[in-house]
Amino acid sequence: MTDFGTRLKQARKARGITQAQLAEGLGVTQSTIANYEANLRFPGEEALRDLADQLQVSIDHLMGLPLEPDLPMPLQQLASDELKALQDRFYSDMLSGREARSFDLVSRGGRVRQDLGGVFDEVVAPVLREVGLLWESGVLDVAQEHLISDSVDRLLSTLIQGIPEGEKPFTAVFLLPGAEEHHLSLRMAQACFKALGWRTVYLGRSLPVSSLQHFLENAPAQVLVTSVTLRDHLNSCEHLIRAIKAFPEAYRPRVLVGGRVIKDADQALRQLGADDYAASYRDLVQRVGALEAVLSKAGKP
């Protein structure tokens, strides 16, 4: 699959126009078009539409996507190029704020119901990582990064709200440590727990330990889930876990931790002091089942 810059250049040459002529038609500088074609910058939603209109091609053509991808089979059965096409389509939909279409795409074949962890592992999380890299390299600007993150946030909110309230006698609370702001991974973890029948409570971030203790004292939970995306926040995670370990046993939850900067279970359990660790969302789904067995054996609830 060719990259965006190459497809844009090919479409421009097919129209027989120069970078300067395309730039004039769009009301931008020639260097803007040159940066697009060199994959040094990526156009925003409106600019992408203008490019497609000016070159008389579809946005999907510029993005290198099939007009109507039909990939209903389980994610494990997709070939690498098919999975990449699915990720590209998801990225395109997030950039243009089309959460409904992206949800329909990733949920085909019962994927969300049957393999929610896989949807997060194979589609959502890789796209978010790629967005972060594109932003760091300057290909995406801050506004575009925020647009995609907000689109994914709305998609996850819709997904979580659409899952029936859990009927199992277990509750999980979700809290980010310290100044950690990357909440989308925690929202995906919440969706996994809720889909498995747990009651879930999302507490967000920047919650004082005293407030957390008061909350748990009045609304006990069996598990607290936290996530670390940036290495600078590992200490905050460790401090949060230590504080929870000091809570009275009557309302002290088990702590499950995950996040891309935690390299393995040894770091999570021995260094940070967590009780459980999930390396991926599929792994998290399996861990939830193991947690239920442990809690039931311990008589909690």
Q: Does the pLDDT value for residue 138 go beyond 60?
A: yes
Residue limits of CATH 3.40.50.280 in the chain: 165-297
Is the separation of the CB atoms in 88 and 115 below 8 Å? no
Segment 17-69, tens digit of pLDDT = 999 999 999 999 999 999 999 988 888 878 888 898 888 777 776 777 654 45
User: Could you please report the per-residue DSSP string of 70-89?
Assistant: ---S-GGGS-HHHHHHHHHH
Cα 293 from Cα 217, distance rounded (Å)? 24
Point out the least confidently predicted range of 100-104, 155-159, 217-221: 100-104
Point out the least confidently predicted range of 111-115, 194-198, 294-298: 111-115
Q: pLDDT band for position 233 (50/70/90)?
A: very high
Segment 129-150 mean pLDDT: 88
Residue limits of CATH 1.10.260.40 in the chain: 1-63
Cα 216 from Cα 176, distance rounded (Å)? 16
Q: pLDDT band for position 106 (50/70/90)?
A: confident
Q: Please tell me the CATH code under which domain 65-162 is placed.
A: 1.10.1240.10
Which two three-digit tokens encode residue 241? 């876990």
Q: Does the pLDDT value for residue 70 go beyond 60?
A: no
Segment 95-116 mean pLDDT: 76
Report the predicted TM-score, pTM, of the whole model to 2 decimal places: 0.78
Beta bridge partners of 201: 173
> CATH: 3.30.420.40, 1.10.260.40, 3.30.70.260, 3.20.20.70. Which one for 1-63?
1.10.260.40
> CATH: 2.60.40.420, 3.40.640.10, 3.40.50.280, 3.40.50.880. Which one for 165-297?
3.40.50.280
Give the mean pLDDT of the chain: 87
Confidence at residue 3, expressed as pLDDT on a 0 to 100 scale? 79
Confidence at residue 94, expressed as pLDDT on a 0 to 100 scale? 84
Beta pairing class for 276-277 and 171-175: unpaired
Q: Report the percent of the chain where pLDDT is more than 70.
A: 95
Confidence at residue 28, expressed as pLDDT on a 0 to 100 scale? 92
Cα 198 from Cα 95, distance rounded (Å)? 32
Confidence at residue 67, expressed as pLDDT on a 0 to 100 scale? 44
139 or 187: whose pLDDT is higher? 187
Segment 294-299 mean pLDDT: 83
Q: Does the pLDDT value for residue 300 go beyond 80?
A: no
Highest mean pLDDT among 31-45, 101-115, 262-276: 262-276
Cα 174 from Cα 204, distance rounded (Å)? 7
Q: Does the pLDDT value for residue 139 go beyond 90?
A: no
